[in-house]
Every structure is written in structure tokens, then in C-alpha cells.
Structure 1
Amino acid sequence: MKTQHQINQKLKSSLDNAIDISQKYILSLQNSEGYWLGELESNVTLTAETVLIYKIWGIFENLPKSKIEAYLCNKQNKYGGWELFYGDGGEISTSIEAYMALRLLGLSKDNPVLVSARKFILSRGGISKARIFTKFHLALIGCYSWEGLPSIPPSIMVLSNNFPFTIYEMASWARESTVPLIIVFDKKPIFPINPSFNLNELYVEDIEKVQYKLPYTNSWTDIFLWLDKIFQLLGKFNLIPFRERGLKEAEKWILDHQQESGDWGGIMPPMLNSLIAFKTLGYDIEDPSVKRGFEAIQRFAIEKDQDYYVQACVSPVWDTAWMIRALTESGLSKDHRSLQIAGDWLLSKQCLDYGDWAIKNKIGKPGGWAFEFTNRFYPDIDDSAAVIMALEGITLVNEQQKKAAINRCLQWIKTMQCKTGGWAAFDIDNNQAWLNEVPYGDLKAMIDPNSADITARVLEMLGSCNLEMSDERTAKALNYLYDEQEKDGSWFGRWGVNYIYGTSGVLSALAVLHPDKNYSQLKRGVSWLLSCQNEDGGWGETCLSYDNPELKGEGISTASQTAWSLIGLLDAGKALDNFAINHIDRGINYLVKTQTSTGEWKEKEFTGTGFPSHFYIRYHLYSNYFPLIALGRYQKLRHLF
């Protein structure tokens, strides 16, 4: 029989090897400039919409059409549809847009791929049951009537900042997408496709009987439908106040907010919408703003031997910050050359311009970091806190420059705290929930309220980096997290799937910031996480938990979600008497067993969240840097025994 010493030695050997090959794999991925960049995989709609916009602009020949066709066909599931996230069985709007793109690419509706897709789409109610944005894309090419779409009054562009509502009460992503659509929804353009093209086969009802109208809900939100009718009527008679001025302001806003990199806000939807607005306004394909916009789309595209598709965004700052943390926490020297060039690269990406955040934050000075290569209008709190923790963990040649950058960011983060005590992603007090009920906002993502996971990131940054914030600010943030804890001990995860992500982040924060005062909250959070562990030792949670909280903490084990759970448990264990070491051992064994010989972890599941219930992301590097952090922290723990 093996002794406990032999078992521990075997575990230590396996652990050391797992960390070593993971570090080597991660270092092999680093760009020569110092950053890391993983793929952001989402659903097929953005690629489908790229096909649409190239068709509208008459530059279809610039796309590798056969590769896009192959990509879309390969992503079709066995039921005939296309999915929002891996394994969801298919979603109607996503499927309609994929079908549209394949038809635009030249596939006959009798093609077996489209026959199967059509059956799936009709079984879900057809085009009439699609989301607003899908109907909008169809309306651009005459496959849906503009009568069935809501209005966006141009007048909102001229409302002063003292008015109860302006475009700055929308979330940054909603604002960036909406401003160009003010122009498009006002002009209601139709760009004919030649030869003659329609998608009548995707309507359940006869085309003559389609009712182009917004559905009533028999609730207070129907007031928006009545208001929309009024706006539509005023628009027909050109009686909307300040219409022309609003349209001019919208055009100016788009031009002013295009970055030197050609994109808007670093995400695809406003890029596509702005190019549609330019086309609506009669811009030429050779116009510099148009050319930069299409060049930006190409930078978001991934082309392989067989496939071509478009990412929603790119994440070099985020990935680099977490890679640095993973390498340092797993034992790489703080002054390792790879970490130094990564740190210098991050310093070069600090946002030193006043962005949209300054509209409501009158006292803050620039200093945050954004998600992407370039995004001077929209630094975000989550990235900024992650970068500070990464920089604090390494030694740079110019330490004074590093400390100055960290202090600038810290001062900015302080001023971005919301009245409720938490922090949001991009703005302060962006919480007018009624905006999610307007007909146009059927994704329910029109605002950017504070969230537990981002608030936790800020508090973890303060505690782990020994940074100072006033006792009043810290107490408000802690009270916010206390109030957000669910009855079962978990926390909701806004930006990762889902309660596992939220709970892990809050545990890490509470454990490094006054843990003695947070004992009760820590214990309840740990108990919930332990109750979710799967038989194989890992943790997993389905995206469906956003729609049905009864599914919280349930799902097949994944490397990223197992790592999140372990990180939260390991951090909380420092503050609790009950260390739950057996559960942690099982989780570590799961990670060691599922690691490949090349040092990576594979997972198909989507564990990143864009808009809960509507848009999810698979960060391809999540399954690598989070497990390495967990292994590194566990290794330090084991040295205590």
C-alpha cells in the first residue's frame, strides 16, 4: 500500500509537470511585441451580417465567399439551425441570418443545408418571430417591411445633458450601435439585390398575410408601442422636432467617434451599423472613413485554409493581463524577459484621452485601460483592475513609470464608482432600466449597471495590491456585494457564465479585503461552490442559467469554470477554518487529468458573456490562463503542508 508521502510526491510531480508544460505553451503564444491575443468565438450572425454589408456596398468580390460558405455550413447543427452558444440546440434569429447569408452567397433554397435550415426556422415561427435586429437586416434588402420596425427619433441627438434622458444613458455598446441607426431608421433604405431576391419561404404565414407590427404585451411597457406609433406618424408628415439637426448631429457623432484604427468602440455591431449609415447617406466607397471601416472589419476577421469568419471583438489587453498573472502566480520570475515586454506593452496602451465616460463623470481624469488594441473612447473598469494586478506582480526596468501608470488608473477607477457602491463596465450610474423595455431594445442590453463581478475585481485589486481607497468608498462597495449575494450564497456573474464566475470573483475579493468582517459571506459562498462540484471533480455551468436560475452551477465540467471555482475556494480558504481541501484536491486532479500533452486545455463550451440570454463568447485562452492560475495558487498552498 502506498504511503501518504508517496501519494503526495506523486501529486507534486504531476502538479509541477502540469505547470511547467502550461507555462511553456503560454510563452509560445506570446507575440513578439509583448502581448497575447486569443480568438473570441461567438455565433455566426456577425459573419452573416458582414456578407450582407459587402453585398449592399457592391464589393462582394472582396470576400472569400467559398470559405464563408464552408464556415456557415460547418456551424449548422444536426437539427438544421445555428446556435447562440455550443450545445443550445439552435436559435431562430441566428439561424435566419445564417440562412440569409447563404442565400446571398448563391446557395439555392433547394440546397440540402437550406432545406434543413428552413424546416428548423419554420418550426420556431419563421421571420415574424425573429428579433428586431434580424428583421432590420432583412428590411435593408427588401425581405421584411420597415413598417414592422420601431422608430428611433433623431431628436434624441439634440437633448442637452441636463435632460433626464440622452444617448449617454445608454450603455456604451448600445450608444455606439444606436447613433448610426438613427440615420438608417429615419431614411428606411432598401438596397435591391440583383437578380431579384426574397426570403418568402421563411414566413410561416402567406406573405400577403404577414402582419408587420410590434407585439403588445398587455403590460405597462405597451406605452412604448403607443409612443412609437406617434413617432411613426410624425415621421410620415416630417413633423419630428429637430429632425434634420438630429440627423446631422448623428452623422457628426459617427465621424468623431471613428478611431484611427477605423473601428467604433472596438466591437463589430457599431462598425457594421456605421457603414450602413454611410451607405444610406450616399458616401462613396473610396471615402476615407468608409475605407478605414472596412479595413477594421478585415482586422477582426480570421481566415484559415477552409474557413473565414468575423470576431465580435479582439481582446489583447485582457488576455495579456491575465497571461501575466497566470505566469507570475505559477512561479515565473517577476523580471522574466517575457513578462517585462508584456508589461511595457500594457503601459503603452493606457488610455490618456477623455472618453464618453467623462460626460457623466465630471471629476475623473483619464488613466484606464481598454479591452482592445485601440479604444480611446471606452476604457473599462474590469480591464483596468486586471491590468493593475498584472503590473503589480512583475518588475519592470522603469518601475517609476509603472507606479505612475497604476496611480493614474486607480484615481480614475475611484471616480467611476456608482451611487449604489458598485462599479459597472464602462460608465457611471448607467442604470435607467426602463430603456430595456423600449421596442428597439429587445436584447435587454440597453444599459450598463454596476455588477458584482466587476465590483469584486476592483476590491480584489485593492486588497491584493495594497492600494488605498477611502473607507467610505470601500464600505459602500462591500455593502453592495453583501446585498447582491443570493440566498443560497452565490453571486450572479454578468460577464462570465455565470454564478460560478460571479461567486469565484467575489470570494477572491472578500478574502483579501477585511476577511474577518466577511466571514459569513465567505462561508456561504464556499458552501454553494462546493455543492456544485461534479462527480469528475470539475465544475461547469450552462449559459441557460441566465434564463433559468434553477440551473445555476449545473453543467458539464470545463477547464475555465473549474479553475474559477478553485481560485475562489483557494482564496477563501485563507480566511476560513474549513479549508475544503478534499474538494480542492479533486478539482486540481480534474485539471491535471484533462490537460493535453502540449500543455493546454480544450473546451467547446462558451463561458464568456456579452449580453445575458442573447450573446455569448468562447474566449479561446480562458481554458489556459485560468487553470494555470489555479494550479499555481494550489502549488503555493501545498507547500504549507
Structure 2
Amino acid sequence: MKKKIEERIRKLVSDLQERQDKEGSWHFCFENSVLTDAYMIILLCSLETGDEELVGRLVGRLWKLQTREGTWKLFEDEEEGNLSSTVEACFALTYSGLVEEGDKRLIKAKQFIEKKGGFHKAHSMTKFMLAIHGQYEWKHLLPVPIELLLLPKSSPLSFWDFSSYGRGHIAPLMLLKDRGYSFKSPRTPDIQHLSRAPEEIGYSSREIALLKKINEGLQSLPDIPAHLHQQAQQFALHYMLQRIESDGTYLSYFTTTFYMIYALLSLGYEKSDPIIVKAVDGVKKMACETKKGTHIQNSPSTVWDTALISHSLQEAGVDVGGGTVRESVDFIMKKQQFKYGDWAVESGVTPGGWGFSISNSFHPDVDDTTAALRAVTYSAAKKPFVREAWERGTEWVLAMQNRDGGWPAFEKNKTKDILTSFPLDGAEAAAIDPSTPDLTGRTLEFLGGSAGLTQEHPGVEKAVRWLNRMQNEDGSWYGRWGVCYIYGTWSAITGMRAAGVPSTDRSLQRAKSWLEDIQQRDGGWGESCYSDQKKTYIPLPFSTVSQTAWALEALIHLEDKPTPAIDLGITALLGMLDGAGDALSCTYPTGIGLPGQFYVHYHSYQSLWPLLTLSLYQKKYVEGRTS
């Protein structure tokens, strides 16, 4: 097995080196749900941009992703199909003008939608898209006055209490709802017959309590209603315009840019306005090629992938001074952010973080920042200017720690739980930005493993205590940004070990037992996206490459010598990399954007995580090194 490990490491290194581009970065596809492909078709067709060739390619991919039952899914083991995805694909295909009304594939999709009760049962984002195009009544959406945007930060609740991701979507959506905007043309399809909208919409007691708090805040605003209304519209407009990146996209996301474009149209902007033209051009550049055709990424993962790959290559022994690593570090250094963004309101620290996408210049996040810092750590020891950037980034990470001891994704202390009742599907995950075990564990792994901090540091000690409190009864931890309990448990174990928690610690031993208990018969690990929705571990009938690599790395950090579970797992991982596993082992989505709605297959993950794990196995068990 030692020889096989060495050969596989060499191959993974060679393959990754060959894929590096001239800038020093890596461009792997960030493959998400059909939402972005469908919405791109709708956007291009409604604006009549003349991009028929691109529309045709996107239509072709949608057909290839349709199931035999006529549905579209978020992940392969999803039962029957996903209503929202099927509605989105169905509307887009009809809008494209490339599909006959009597196409049997389209008929099957519509039958599924009707069987599920119509599209009024779809996700809020889907219904917003349909309302924009005259297919759904605005009165059934978001019963919150736009004046919410004006509530001061000192109010019990304000727009600024939402997560940055939440604010990015809420601003255009509230503007669209307020305007009651409908964009219809002779080309717009009519699928209203597929909906049976309810006479009344019922709200939970928590939603009612939230709406009451918002209304109480609005009563305190010192101005006449007409002026407030106009000010709120202007606020929404300026909020979006001030957060447009150099490529024309709004916050570097496809979905936010999509809704911004229609919000601008609702205010009287022309389709030919330079802001809209550049925004459309920006999202067109988010295209990537998959085996089934052209796909529109919601947020290209170039910075994330480059940082992770550079680090994995260095851990595999690639020379830090050589071209591959040097060029990747140069690229990463250029992407450090020096603009003050919304995050600065709470953190009070100078800029120094990194973002996810190549165009992201003022919307950094903790996970990308620690990934970038890991990748430049060795270079920082030799180059003063890299060291200065590294110290600045580390200071930024430490300043982002939440009050409870954990780390958020984008902004600290956005944790008002009542906002999870905001009347939008997915608000429980997107409205706030709480500490999560995966982000906290990965941050600890950097602080302990790369920055050399121990539990003597108050921030590290507080984070370890927080992780101990968050451990589930079965020994696992929940992962918010990866699927799901395997991801969270791997993050927590590696973070706590890097912080100096001994492998004999009771929490870590419980986590080890849990990982060993869920090991698949083939020796690997595989977890369903359903875990994320049902908030309990749901196994897959097969193992996946990335989840197997995560579980193995966690176990290796806990064991001085290889155990049967580890060796069996390594054998399974090597087999999957040789193509011996299930066809979905390398393609099943193991990343999460929005729980229950948005899952990601990172094309880079089938290379970088196995490389990191195999390199760790070789260093620790074959070469006898601990670092």
C-alpha cells in the first residue's frame, strides 16, 4: 500500500500542476443546482440579449439533467425530484423558445409540478422569480414594508442585523415587492395554470412576533410616510450600487446580480443601461464546462480552490520556492482585501481578509481567509512582505470571533435568532451568521497548526470550550458549509488537535468512535445531503472521495499508528481514485450553500482532499514525521 500511496500522491501533484493557469491560480468548476442555469436562460431571453448560442447550450444541459420521471433534483438520492428545481427548469425551457409545448419531457415535468400541489409550494426564491415574470401574485410574498431598511442599527431589529448574504438578497427583493414589478413580453411563457395559490397565507407565532417587532420599530421613525417610502427605495438602490464589483456583478453572486438587474428595471433603468449590460456580462463570465455541458456558477471558487490546492501541494512536499507554489502564493497575495466592507461595523479591525471568488474585493469571509493564510504560511517565514500580509490576515481572523467563542462566515455577532423567522424560505440558515462547528474547527486548525497558538490564547481557549458545548450526543458535530456531520466532525477534530487538545480527550474519543461506527462496508465514508435537512446523519449507499478523505484525516490526527479502520479507508480511497468506486463517488455534492436548497459539487475536491490526506498518512506513518 505504501507504494500505491506514493504513486497516487505523485499523480495528484502532477495533475494539479498541469492544471495551474498562467496567473498561478486554479479554475475548477463550482457546480451547483440547476437554478443558475435556468435563471440565466430566463434573464437572457427576457432582456433579449441575443445570446441564443449560450441559451442553447444551457438548454441542452438542463435536458441532460432531467430524470426519467421528468423531474430535476438537488442531489442524486433525492426522492422523486425537487419541486423548485423542476419549476425553474420547466419555466426556463419554455421561455427559451427552443422547446415545443407538446414535448413529452416537458409534459412529464408539468405533471410532477401539479402532483406536488403546484408551484405555490416551491421555494420563496423560485416564487420571486415567477412573480417578476407575472406568474405569481406579489401579495403572497414577503409581507414586510420596505421601510424596514431605514430602521437604525440601534433599533431592536434592523436591516443591519441580517447576515451579509441575507442583506444582499433582501435589498433587491424588497424593492421588487414594493414596486409590484412584473416584466412580461410576448416571449414570456404562461405557466400560471401550474399553481393553486392559497386564499390566505398563515404565519407562525414566531413570524408574527417578528413582524410585530418590525412594525413597532417603524412607528418610531420621525418622518411622514411618503418621505420614508421614497427614502427606503433610494436606500435599497444605493445599497446595491455601492456593492457592485469590478466585473459588474453584485457581491460576486449570480443570484444577487439576477435580482438586482430586475430591481433596477423596476426603478426605470433601461435594458441598455451600462450597469445592467455589465452585470449581464459579468454573470455570463461565470460559465464553466461540465461533462453534461455549460453551467453557470453562482460564485466561481477560484480563490478558495487556489488556496486549498496550494496548501495541499505544499503538504505533499512540493518546493515552496518552486514555480507552482511561488506563482500560487503570488496570486493569493494579490487577492488580499484592503477595502472596508460591512464586516468592519462589528469587528473594528483593519482589512486583511480574502473572499471566495476572483472578483470579490470587499466581501471577505473567515474560511477563505484561513485557507489563504495556510497557503502562504511557509512563504511568510522567508519573505517580509508576505509575513506582513499574513499577520494582517491573522489579526483580521482573530477579530472576527463571535461573542460565544465560535467563528461565523462573513460578519461577527449577526446572531439575533428571531430573524430566522423572517418570512422567506431558508431564513433559518441565511438570515443570520452564527458560529458553526465547521468554521470554528477550521479556524482553530489554522491558528494552532499554522499560527502556533495554543489554549493559552484566550480566543483559542474560548473556541475549544464552544466546540465542546456544540458536540452532539453521538459524538459528531454539525457542518454548515459541507455535507454534513462528517464535515463538521472532521473540522472539529482537526481544529482541536491543532489547538493542543490531546487525542485522549473524551470529546475526541467520542468523535473517533462515531466516525468508526459510520464507516461503510467498502471502507469509505458517504453521507447524504438529507443529513443537512433532517439534522441527523443519513448515510449514502456508496462512499465519496471527499468525505472519505475528511474522515481519514480526522482519524489520522487521533492515532499514533494506522488502525484497521484507517488502512481500510485508505484502500477504499485509493480504489475510488482509480475508478473502482461508485460512479457518483467523485461527483456527489459535498458542499452546502443553502441547506435544503443549494448544494455544491466542487470539482477540485476529488483531488485536493485526497492529496492532503494521503500526504498526512505518508508523513506520519511511513516517514515518521509529525509536521
Mapping of residues 322-333 of structure 1, within 5 Å: 322-333=308-319
CA pair 115-601 structure 1, distance change in 2 beyond 3 A: closer
Q: Does 1:516 align with 2:502?
A: yes
In structure 2, the residue corresponding to 1:221 is in which secondary structure? helix
Amino acid at match of 1:364: V
Tell me by how many angstroms 1:338 deviates: 0.5
Amino acid at match of 1:140: I
Looking at structure 2, the residues matched to 323 and 620 of structure 1 have their Cα atoms a distance apart, in angstroms, of: 12
Looking at structure 1, the residues matched to 457 and 292 of structure 2 have their Cα atoms a distance apart, in angstroms, of: 56
Q: Does 1:42 align with 2:40?
A: no
Looking at structure 2, the residues matched to 259 and 337 of structure 1 have their Cα atoms a distance apart, in angstroms, of: 30
User: Does the aligned pair in 2 maintain the 1:368–1:380 contact within 8 Å?
Assistant: yes
CA pair 81-18 structure 1, distance change in 2 beyond 3 A: same
Equivalent residue for 2:573, pick from 591, 603, 615: 591
Percentage identity across aligned positions?
Answer: 29
Partner of 1:99: 90
In structure 1, the residue corresponding to 2:238 is in which secondary structure? helix
In structure 1, the residue corresponding to 2:601 is in which secondary structure? strand
Equivalent residue for 2:391, pick from 391, 403, 407: 407
Equivalent residue for 2:299, pick from 285, 288, 313: 313
Equivalent residue for 1:382, pick from 360, 363, 367: 367
In structure 2, the residue corresponding to 1:490 is in which secondary structure? coil
Mapping of residues 2-401 of structure 1, within 5 Å: 11-61=1-51, 64-89=54-79, 90-106=81-97, 107-194=99-186, 197-203=189-195, 205=196, 210-211=197-198, 213-217=200-204, 219-223=205-209, 239=225, 242-302=228-288, 307-361=293-347, 363-394=348-379, 399-401=383-385
Amino acid at match of 1:211: P
CA pair 84-241 structure 1, distance change in 2 beyond 3 A: farther
Partner of 2:221: none
Tell me by how many angstroms 1:305 deviates: 9.9
Partner of 1:8: none
Mean CA deviation greater in 582-591 or 81-90: 81-90
Instruction: Describe the superposition over 1:573-614 as per-residue Cα deviations: whole angstroms up to 9, x where unpaired.
Output: 25xxxx56211111111121222389x996121000111222
Which consecutive residues of structure 1, in runs of 5 or more, have no partner in the other structure?
1-10, 233-237
Amino acid at match of 1:168: W
Looking at structure 2, the residues matched to 601 and 550 of structure 1 have their Cα atoms a distance apart, in angstroms, of: 22
User: Does the aligned pair in 2 maintain the 1:54–1:60 contact within 8 Å?
Assistant: yes
User: Does the aligned pair in 2 maintain the 1:154–1:243 contact within 8 Å?
Assistant: yes
User: Does the aligned pair in 1 maintain the 2:525–2:551 contact within 8 Å?
Assistant: yes
Amino acid at match of 2:497: A
Equivalent residue for 2:587, pick from 586, 601, 604: 604
Looking at structure 1, the residues matched to 51 and 32 of structure 2 have their Cα atoms a distance apart, in angstroms, of: 25
User: Does the aligned pair in 2 maintain the 1:451–1:494 contact within 8 Å?
Assistant: yes
Q: Does 1:458 align with 2:449?
A: no
Equivalent residue for 1:449, pick from 434, 451, 474: 434
Instruction: Describe the superposition over 1:281-326 as per-residue Cα deviations: whole angstroms up to 9, x where unpaired.
Output: 1212332221221111111123579833311111111111111122
In structure 1, the residue corresponding to 2:166 is in which secondary structure? helix
User: Does the aligned pair in 2 maintain the 1:214–1:225 contact within 8 Å?
Assistant: no
Looking at structure 2, the residues matched to 60 and 619 of structure 1 have their Cα atoms a distance apart, in angstroms, of: 31
User: Does the aligned pair in 1 maintain the 2:477–2:488 contact within 8 Å?
Assistant: yes
Partner of 1:5: none
Mean CA deviation greater in 589-598 or 605-614: 589-598
Amino acid at match of 1:215: G
CA pair 473-224 structure 1, distance change in 2 beyond 3 A: closer
Amino acid at match of 2:267: L
Partner of 1:427: 411
Tell me by how many angstroms 1:621 deviates: 0.7
| TM-score computed with the length of structure 1 as normaliser | 0.90
**Structure 1 segments of 4 or more deviating over 6 A?**
225-232
Tell me by how many angstroms 1:121 deviates: 1.3
Mean CA deviation greater in 415-424 or 300-309: 300-309
CA pair 634-540 structure 1, distance change in 2 beyond 3 A: same
Tell me by how many angstroms 1:572 deviates: 2.0
Tell me by how many angstroms 1:550 deviates: 4.2
| TM-score computed with the length of structure 2 as normaliser | 0.92
User: Does the aligned pair in 2 maintain the 1:301–1:308 contact within 8 Å?
Assistant: yes
Looking at structure 1, the residues matched to 216 and 344 of structure 2 have their Cα atoms a distance apart, in angstroms, of: 34
Tell me by how many angstroms 1:467 deviates: 3.5
Which consecutive residues of structure 2, in runs of 5 or more, have no partner in the other structure?
219-223
Tell me by how many angstroms 1:639 deviates: 2.0
Partner of 1:3: none
Instruction: Describe the superposition over 1:361-397 as per-residue Cα deviations: whole angstroms up to 9, x where unpaired.
Output: 2x2110111111122221110111111111114578x
Equivalent residue for 1:473, pick from 438, 459, 462: 459
Instruction: Describe the superposition over 1:151-178 as per-residue Cα deviations: whole angstroms up to 9, x where unpaired.
Output: 3422122222222222221111111111
Amino acid at match of 1:595: L
Partner of 1:6: none
Mean CA deviation greater in 433-442 or 113-122: 433-442
Tell me by how many angstroms 1:331 deviates: 2.1
Partner of 2:545: 559
Looking at structure 1, the residues matched to 216 and 326 of structure 2 have their Cα atoms a distance apart, in angstroms, of: 60
C-alpha RMSD of the superposition: 2.6
Amino acid at match of 2:304: W
Looking at structure 2, the residues matched to 161 and 16 of structure 1 have their Cα atoms a distance apart, in angstroms, of: 56
Tell me by how many angstroms 1:199 deviates: 0.6
User: Does the aligned pair in 1 maintain the 2:475–2:510 contact within 8 Å?
Assistant: yes
CA pair 423-551 structure 1, distance change in 2 beyond 3 A: closer
